[in-house]
Amino acid sequence: MEYHPIWYFVLEDAECRLRSKKHTPIVAAGAALNISPKYPYWLNGNCLHINTEDSAAAAFTKVPGAVEDLARDAISQMQAHNVVKPAFILTHSKDANNKSRTVANVWKDVLVNKLGLVLDGNEESFCMGIKASQLKFSPKAVDQEIRYVRATIQNDFAGVLDVEPGGKEGLEWRTVKCQELLSRSESEGLTYLCYLADVSVARFLVTFVPPSSLPQTHHVDGKKLAFVTRVNTKDEFQRRGYAKQILEFGLKDLFENYNVETVVLFADEEGPIALYKGIGFEILDSRIELNFELKNLTAFLFLATLSSEITQL
Protein backbone atom coordinates (compact mmCIF):
# COMPACT_ATOMS: atom_id res chain seq x y z
CA MET A 1 0.00 0.00 0.00
CA GLU A 2 1.75 3.10 -1.26
CA TYR A 3 1.45 6.48 0.40
CA HIS A 4 -0.31 9.19 -1.61
CA PRO A 5 -0.83 12.86 -0.62
CA ILE A 6 -4.56 12.30 -0.96
CA TRP A 7 -4.36 10.44 2.37
CA TYR A 8 -4.36 13.80 4.14
CA PHE A 9 -7.93 14.21 2.96
CA VAL A 10 -9.35 10.69 2.84
CA LEU A 11 -8.18 9.68 6.33
CA GLU A 12 -9.90 12.59 8.05
CA ASP A 13 -12.86 12.19 5.71
CA ALA A 14 -13.31 8.57 6.80
CA GLU A 15 -13.73 9.66 10.42
CA CYS A 16 -16.05 12.51 9.45
CA ARG A 17 -18.29 10.11 7.53
CA LEU A 18 -18.84 8.18 10.76
CA ARG A 19 -19.26 11.03 13.24
CA SER A 20 -20.66 14.02 11.37
CA LYS A 21 -24.39 14.55 11.59
CA LYS A 22 -24.27 15.86 8.04
CA HIS A 23 -21.51 14.80 5.64
CA THR A 24 -21.98 16.15 2.12
CA PRO A 25 -19.41 15.36 -0.59
CA ILE A 26 -19.08 18.22 -3.09
CA VAL A 27 -17.49 16.31 -5.94
CA ALA A 28 -17.27 19.22 -8.37
CA ALA A 29 -15.14 21.17 -5.89
CA GLY A 30 -13.09 18.28 -4.52
CA ALA A 31 -14.47 18.99 -1.06
CA ALA A 32 -16.82 17.77 1.66
CA LEU A 33 -19.03 19.74 4.02
CA ASN A 34 -19.18 18.42 7.59
CA ILE A 35 -21.70 19.66 10.14
CA SER A 36 -21.74 18.28 13.70
CA PRO A 37 -23.75 20.41 16.16
CA LYS A 38 -23.33 17.77 18.88
CA TYR A 39 -19.55 18.22 18.67
CA PRO A 40 -19.19 22.03 18.78
CA TYR A 41 -15.42 21.99 19.35
CA TRP A 42 -14.55 19.34 16.74
CA LEU A 43 -12.91 21.43 14.03
CA ASN A 44 -12.92 18.78 11.28
CA GLY A 45 -16.54 17.96 12.04
CA ASN A 46 -17.70 21.53 11.46
CA CYS A 47 -15.98 22.67 8.32
CA LEU A 48 -15.66 22.63 4.58
CA HIS A 49 -12.78 20.21 4.00
CA ILE A 50 -10.96 20.77 0.69
CA ASN A 51 -8.93 18.07 -1.06
CA THR A 52 -6.25 20.15 -2.78
CA GLU A 53 -4.88 17.04 -4.53
CA ASP A 54 -8.13 16.46 -6.40
CA SER A 55 -8.05 17.54 -10.04
CA ALA A 56 -11.66 18.67 -9.62
CA ALA A 57 -10.55 21.09 -6.90
CA ALA A 58 -7.97 22.61 -9.25
CA ALA A 59 -10.53 23.02 -12.04
CA PHE A 60 -13.09 24.47 -9.63
CA THR A 61 -10.77 27.28 -8.53
CA LYS A 62 -10.51 28.45 -12.14
CA VAL A 63 -14.26 29.06 -12.46
CA PRO A 64 -14.93 32.78 -11.78
CA GLY A 65 -16.74 33.26 -8.48
CA ALA A 66 -17.13 29.54 -7.78
CA VAL A 67 -14.93 29.41 -4.67
CA GLU A 68 -16.57 32.46 -3.11
CA ASP A 69 -20.09 31.18 -3.82
CA LEU A 70 -19.33 27.78 -2.31
CA ALA A 71 -17.67 29.35 0.73
CA ARG A 72 -20.69 31.56 1.39
CA ASP A 73 -23.08 28.64 1.00
CA ALA A 74 -20.99 26.46 3.34
CA ILE A 75 -20.97 29.18 6.00
CA SER A 76 -24.74 29.65 5.64
CA GLN A 77 -25.38 25.93 6.07
CA MET A 78 -23.13 25.70 9.12
CA GLN A 79 -24.78 28.73 10.71
CA ALA A 80 -28.22 27.25 10.01
CA HIS A 81 -27.16 24.30 12.19
CA ASN A 82 -25.81 26.61 14.92
CA VAL A 83 -22.17 25.71 14.35
CA VAL A 84 -20.15 27.81 16.82
CA LYS A 85 -17.16 28.49 14.55
CA PRO A 86 -17.61 27.68 10.85
CA ALA A 87 -14.23 26.57 9.51
CA PHE A 88 -12.38 25.66 6.32
CA ILE A 89 -9.56 23.10 6.37
CA LEU A 90 -7.02 22.13 3.72
CA THR A 91 -3.41 21.02 3.36
CA HIS A 92 -0.85 21.72 0.68
CA SER A 93 2.60 20.60 -0.35
CA LYS A 94 5.64 22.57 0.81
CA ASP A 95 6.70 22.70 -2.84
CA ALA A 96 5.81 26.17 -4.11
CA ASN A 97 5.16 24.81 -7.61
CA ASN A 98 2.85 22.00 -6.54
CA LYS A 99 -0.76 22.20 -7.78
CA SER A 100 -2.06 21.81 -4.23
CA ARG A 101 -0.28 25.03 -3.29
CA THR A 102 -2.04 26.85 -6.14
CA VAL A 103 -5.44 25.57 -5.04
CA ALA A 104 -4.71 26.54 -1.44
CA ASN A 105 -3.70 30.06 -2.42
CA VAL A 106 -6.98 30.65 -4.26
CA TRP A 107 -9.01 29.52 -1.25
CA LYS A 108 -6.86 31.57 1.12
CA ASP A 109 -7.35 34.72 -0.93
CA VAL A 110 -11.13 34.32 -1.00
CA LEU A 111 -11.55 33.32 2.65
CA VAL A 112 -9.27 35.96 4.14
CA ASN A 113 -9.47 38.90 1.76
CA LYS A 114 -13.06 38.62 0.56
CA LEU A 115 -14.91 36.97 3.43
CA GLY A 116 -12.90 38.12 6.43
CA LEU A 117 -12.06 34.72 7.90
CA VAL A 118 -9.00 34.32 10.12
CA LEU A 119 -6.12 31.96 9.37
CA ASP A 120 -6.14 30.22 12.76
CA GLY A 121 -3.69 27.40 11.99
CA ASN A 122 -0.68 27.21 9.71
CA GLU A 123 1.27 24.19 10.92
CA GLU A 124 3.45 21.48 9.43
CA SER A 125 1.67 18.15 9.78
CA PHE A 126 3.57 14.86 9.53
CA CYS A 127 1.94 11.75 8.10
CA MET A 128 3.43 8.68 9.79
CA GLY A 129 2.84 5.05 8.86
CA ILE A 130 3.75 1.57 10.02
CA LYS A 131 3.47 -1.96 8.65
CA ALA A 132 3.57 -5.22 10.62
CA SER A 133 7.22 -5.85 9.75
CA GLN A 134 8.20 -2.48 11.26
CA LEU A 135 6.49 -2.89 14.63
CA LYS A 136 8.94 -2.87 17.51
CA PHE A 137 6.87 -4.98 19.84
CA SER A 138 7.80 -5.25 23.50
CA PRO A 139 6.67 -8.36 25.43
CA LYS A 140 5.70 -6.01 28.26
CA ALA A 141 2.76 -4.85 26.16
CA VAL A 142 0.86 -8.05 26.97
CA ASP A 143 -0.13 -7.90 30.62
CA GLN A 144 -3.14 -7.41 32.87
CA GLU A 145 -3.16 -3.63 32.49
CA ILE A 146 -4.30 -3.85 28.88
CA ARG A 147 -7.84 -4.70 27.92
CA TYR A 148 -9.14 -4.63 24.41
CA VAL A 149 -12.53 -2.96 24.13
CA ARG A 150 -14.78 -4.13 21.33
CA ALA A 151 -16.93 -1.48 19.70
CA THR A 152 -20.07 -3.34 20.74
CA ILE A 153 -19.28 -3.57 24.47
CA GLN A 154 -21.37 -0.90 26.16
CA ASN A 155 -20.26 -2.05 29.63
CA ASP A 156 -16.99 -0.18 29.10
CA PHE A 157 -18.72 3.16 28.63
CA ALA A 158 -17.55 4.53 31.99
CA GLY A 159 -13.92 3.75 31.18
CA VAL A 160 -14.13 5.29 27.72
CA LEU A 161 -15.77 8.44 29.07
CA ASP A 162 -13.29 8.76 31.94
CA VAL A 163 -10.29 8.94 29.61
CA GLU A 164 -11.97 11.28 27.09
CA PRO A 165 -10.28 14.72 27.37
CA GLY A 166 -12.36 17.69 28.46
CA GLY A 167 -13.81 19.42 31.49
CA LYS A 168 -17.24 19.30 33.08
CA GLU A 169 -18.54 21.95 30.68
CA GLY A 170 -18.07 19.53 27.77
CA LEU A 171 -19.63 16.50 29.45
CA GLU A 172 -22.68 16.46 27.18
CA TRP A 173 -20.82 16.23 23.86
CA ARG A 174 -18.17 13.92 25.37
CA THR A 175 -20.95 11.57 26.44
CA VAL A 176 -22.43 11.61 22.94
CA LYS A 177 -19.01 10.92 21.42
CA CYS A 178 -18.28 7.96 23.70
CA GLN A 179 -21.69 6.44 23.06
CA GLU A 180 -21.07 6.77 19.33
CA LEU A 181 -17.60 5.20 19.58
CA LEU A 182 -18.92 2.14 21.39
CA SER A 183 -21.79 1.71 18.94
CA ARG A 184 -19.48 1.34 15.94
CA SER A 185 -19.18 -1.99 14.22
CA GLU A 186 -15.78 -3.65 13.98
CA SER A 187 -15.80 -2.96 10.25
CA GLU A 188 -15.84 0.78 11.00
CA GLY A 189 -13.38 1.24 13.84
CA LEU A 190 -12.04 0.15 17.21
CA THR A 191 -11.33 1.64 20.61
CA TYR A 192 -8.42 0.39 22.73
CA LEU A 193 -8.16 1.16 26.43
CA CYS A 194 -5.29 0.71 28.88
CA TYR A 195 -6.36 0.00 32.45
CA LEU A 196 -4.35 0.28 35.66
CA ALA A 197 -6.31 -1.95 37.99
CA ASP A 198 -9.89 -0.75 37.36
CA VAL A 199 -8.92 2.75 36.22
CA SER A 200 -8.75 3.59 32.51
CA VAL A 201 -5.55 5.58 31.94
CA ALA A 202 -4.96 5.68 28.16
CA ARG A 203 -6.69 4.91 24.89
CA PHE A 204 -6.39 5.17 21.16
CA LEU A 205 -9.04 5.22 18.46
CA VAL A 206 -8.83 3.60 15.05
CA THR A 207 -10.98 4.16 11.98
CA PHE A 208 -10.82 1.84 8.97
CA VAL A 209 -10.60 3.70 5.66
CA PRO A 210 -13.00 2.43 2.96
CA PRO A 211 -10.97 1.08 -0.02
CA SER A 212 -13.37 2.91 -2.35
CA SER A 213 -11.99 6.25 -1.14
CA LEU A 214 -8.43 5.36 -2.17
CA PRO A 215 -6.93 5.40 -5.68
CA GLN A 216 -7.02 1.85 -7.05
CA THR A 217 -3.27 1.89 -7.56
CA HIS A 218 -2.69 2.70 -3.90
CA HIS A 219 -4.28 -0.18 -2.02
CA VAL A 220 -3.95 -3.94 -1.88
CA ASP A 221 -7.10 -6.00 -2.44
CA GLY A 222 -8.47 -7.32 0.83
CA LYS A 223 -6.04 -5.34 2.96
CA LYS A 224 -7.10 -2.47 5.19
CA LEU A 225 -5.72 0.99 5.81
CA ALA A 226 -6.26 2.00 9.44
CA PHE A 227 -6.23 5.60 10.67
CA VAL A 228 -5.37 6.36 14.30
CA THR A 229 -7.57 9.36 15.02
CA ARG A 230 -6.55 9.92 18.62
CA VAL A 231 -3.97 8.75 21.18
CA ASN A 232 -4.16 10.15 24.68
CA THR A 233 -3.25 9.47 28.30
CA LYS A 234 -4.93 11.03 31.34
CA ASP A 235 -2.84 13.90 32.69
CA GLU A 236 -1.90 12.24 35.97
CA PHE A 237 -0.62 9.12 34.19
CA GLN A 238 1.45 10.73 31.44
CA ARG A 239 5.12 9.89 30.80
CA ARG A 240 4.79 6.47 32.43
CA GLY A 241 4.74 4.39 29.25
CA TYR A 242 1.02 3.75 28.99
CA ALA A 243 0.60 5.29 25.52
CA LYS A 244 3.48 3.18 24.19
CA GLN A 245 2.06 0.11 25.86
CA ILE A 246 -1.41 0.44 24.43
CA LEU A 247 -0.12 1.30 20.96
CA GLU A 248 2.08 -1.79 20.86
CA PHE A 249 -0.81 -3.98 21.95
CA GLY A 250 -3.36 -2.43 19.60
CA LEU A 251 -1.10 -2.36 16.55
CA LYS A 252 -0.25 -6.04 17.02
CA ASP A 253 -3.97 -6.81 17.26
CA LEU A 254 -4.74 -4.83 14.10
CA PHE A 255 -2.06 -6.57 12.06
CA GLU A 256 -2.86 -10.07 13.32
CA ASN A 257 -6.64 -10.05 13.56
CA TYR A 258 -8.04 -7.36 11.26
CA ASN A 259 -6.13 -7.83 8.00
CA VAL A 260 -4.58 -4.37 8.27
CA GLU A 261 -1.61 -3.69 6.03
CA THR A 262 -0.78 -0.12 7.06
CA VAL A 263 -1.62 2.02 10.09
CA VAL A 264 -1.34 5.78 9.64
CA LEU A 265 -1.59 8.81 11.90
CA PHE A 266 -0.86 12.53 11.84
CA ALA A 267 1.46 14.29 14.29
CA ASP A 268 2.84 17.80 14.65
CA GLU A 269 4.71 17.78 17.98
CA GLU A 270 8.21 16.47 18.77
CA GLY A 271 7.18 14.36 21.78
CA PRO A 272 4.52 12.25 20.06
CA ILE A 273 6.63 11.97 16.90
CA ALA A 274 9.50 10.52 18.96
CA LEU A 275 7.09 8.09 20.65
CA TYR A 276 5.72 6.86 17.34
CA LYS A 277 9.18 6.47 15.82
CA GLY A 278 10.20 4.38 18.83
CA ILE A 279 7.39 1.95 18.07
CA GLY A 280 8.31 1.67 14.40
CA PHE A 281 6.37 4.42 12.62
CA GLU A 282 8.19 6.29 9.87
CA ILE A 283 7.48 9.71 8.41
CA LEU A 284 5.86 9.30 4.99
CA ASP A 285 5.38 12.97 4.18
CA SER A 286 4.75 16.39 5.67
CA ARG A 287 2.41 19.10 4.46
CA ILE A 288 1.24 22.49 5.63
CA GLU A 289 -2.22 22.42 7.20
CA LEU A 290 -4.32 25.58 7.01
CA ASN A 291 -7.34 26.18 9.24
CA PHE A 292 -9.58 29.16 8.58
CA GLU A 293 -12.28 30.15 11.07
CA LEU A 294 -15.14 32.62 10.97
CA LYS A 295 -14.71 34.52 14.23
CA ASN A 296 -16.35 37.82 13.33
CA LEU A 297 -19.85 37.38 11.93
CA THR A 298 -20.38 41.14 11.68
CA ALA A 299 -17.30 41.55 9.47
CA PHE A 300 -18.41 38.62 7.30
CA LEU A 301 -21.87 40.10 6.77
CA PHE A 302 -20.38 43.52 5.99
CA LEU A 303 -17.97 42.10 3.40
CA ALA A 304 -20.72 39.95 1.91
CA THR A 305 -22.99 43.00 1.51
CA LEU A 306 -20.16 45.10 0.09
CA SER A 307 -19.23 42.41 -2.42
CA SER A 308 -22.86 42.10 -3.52
CA GLU A 309 -23.16 45.85 -4.04
CA ILE A 310 -19.95 45.99 -6.08
CA THR A 311 -21.17 43.12 -8.27
CA GLN A 312 -24.37 45.00 -9.05
CA LEU A 313 -22.53 48.15 -10.20
Which pLDDT belongs to residue 38?
A: 86
Distance of CA 59 to the CA centre of its chain: 25
Q: Which residues contact 2 (CB under 8 A, 6 or more apart)?
A: 217, 218
Domains of the chain: 7-125+288-312 (no CATH), 130-287 (3.40.630.30)
Compute the C-alpha angle 155/159/163, nearest 5°. 155
pTM of the model: 0.88
For strand 118-130 and strand 282-293, is the pairing parallel, antiparallel, or unpaired? antiparallel
**Partners of 286 in beta bridges:** 126
- Please state, as a whole number, how many other Cβ atoms lie within 10 Å of the Cβ of residue 190: 22
Burial pattern 105-130, b for ≥16 Cβ within 10 A else e, equals ebbbebbeebbbbbeebeeeebbbbb
Which pLDDT belongs to residue 23?
A: 97
| Distance separating alpha carbons of residues 124 and 111, to the nearest angstrom | 20
Long-range contacts of range 270-278, CB-CB < 8 Å, 24 or more positions apart? 272/231, 273/126, 273/128, 275/243, 275/244, 275/247, 276/128, 276/130, 276/247, 277/128, 278/136, 278/244
pLDDT (tens place) for every residue of the chain, 313 residues total: 789 999 999 999 999 999 998 999 999 999 999 999 888 889 999 999 999 999 999 999 999 999 999 999 999 999 999 998 899 999 999 998 899 999 999 999 999 999 999 999 889 999 999 999 999 876 654 444 455 444 346 678 888 888 888 777 788 888 988 888 888 888 999 988 888 877 888 888 999 998 878 766 555 667 899 999 999 898 888 888 888 888 998 999 999 999 999 999 999 999 999 999 999 999 999 999 999 999 865 555 545 544 554 444 5
